[in-house]
Structure 1
Amino acid sequence: MPTQRRPRAVRPTSSGVHLLSCPRVVHGLVRGSGVGAGDLVIDFGAGPGTITAPLAGTGSRVLAVERDEAFVRALRRRFDGSPHVRVVHDDLRVVRLPRRDFAVVASIPFAVSTPLLRRLLTPVPGRLALAEVVVEWGLARRLTARRPRDLETAWWAARFDLRLVRRIPARCFTPAPAVDAAHLSIRRRSGVDTRAQAILWPLLDAVHRRPTAQARHVLGDLVTHRLAHRLLRDHDTDPAQPAAEVHIRHWTTVAITLAANGSISPPRLPRSLRE
């Protein structure tokens, strides 16, 4: 669990602070998360507590992570005596994450959105169960595109359901940023256990390296071509379709099927995914 300590030395961003100031958006984030008593939820970049306060009202345990000392002092005054809120003075890029399942409800500073999402969505095993977050509009569009643009995005989309809920105008922030934001909803996909992920990674890597190859040939790198053909047919996928055109969810279900029937011995995941 995170501890209350002085933040490590991390070079500050130059993007400035843009505070979410639209109550309708805030309540949409909290309501969409569905968190309640007994749940652990993190508000990254808590600022003055705009999202922290309604989260506390749900009865969930809230970790309000904030780097700015002035905001930290204000948060501790505001939530002094609250049994459901713990203010953590640290940087979201390095703060220790919980070792139990947790949710995230936060308006993430645009400049550090990708580093934080990488911390939350990349590791195996990961403890993020769900998230309702505000990110830059362009980033949300890229993450929810039907065809992931790179291997990292494919890895995230194969293991999490990433959904763009709504566009958030720049005027909903104080001061207003130069671009609009988006409400991004994230849910961990069920059934994608560690064994399935160990199969999924080399499969996605092969798709990324050979995007125009037929799906049956790419899957045939891991199993027999006969089994590859049957698996793809069973999952409503044309075996002759270019691998990159196969919907990411289909590759996930193929990996889950292979993990369940023991058809292959999955290789060890790269160290970068296990840390």
Structure 2
Amino acid sequence: MTIIQRFIKSLYSPKDIAKYRFLGIGRTILYVFLLMLLSTIPSLYHLSKMSIQALNEGKQIFMDELPPFIIENGELTSNESKPIIIKKDGFDIIFDSTGQTTENDVRNHGNAIALLKDEFFVVNNQTGQNFSYSTFQDNKMENKDIDKFLTSIHGVLWIVLPIIFVFLYLFTAALGFIKVSIFAGIGVLIAQALNRKLQYRQSWRLAAHSITLPTVFFFLMDAIKTVVPGGLFINWIVCFIMLYLSIREIPQPKIKA
């Protein structure tokens, strides 16, 4: 049976999953690696799309929407006499070279990016992180300098993104193997309760295929950027149910007369 056939049957057939307990361990490990690769694809897509969009919007904002400014000697200066607020989808951009806007004012916007008098301040759900201009006190920065910086980042983006993806995939794969190993132990306990003969290594193979359905479901939810309330709980419950049903399909040992 090909890996694609196993993948399809693992979505709906506990009876077929039960047969996979005799599968070679190498083929099972490869299956888990491919499942984790599938689950990582939406994150890579959204990260790539968000990074490109952020860079393009950043270039447009700094060159076209913000007034000319200079960051020198740890301070932001411009000819503006009052703060400027630019509203974008999901966040605000605040520009204030007058010193009137405080960090607390920025936090009240929920999600915001602020160029203040003496610092760059980022807020996400009212959690803020500041970056002092004094870090660049030996350099003079203007709109065009930031535009060049963003352009240089765009040039290396296709080198950075694959590196991020590799680390993200390895992290996801590690979590996947830990999850399968935990469910393999649970499977042994279920087998004992149901009076089924099942060794840990066989239970590991069943667990590896039992995670298919929730993995595909959350792959689709991530692909369309839909948050599932209680997602972790639902994920593990579905894994447990598929594992339980597949162990039930294992024949009970014959009682010797």
Question: What TM-score do the two structures reach when normalised by structure 1?
Answer: 0.19
Query: Which of structures 1 and 2 has the larger relative contact order (alpha carbons within 8 angstroms, sep 6+)?
Result: 2
Q: Which has the higher helix share?
A: 2
Q: Which has the higher strand share?
A: 1
Greater C-alpha radius of gyration: 2
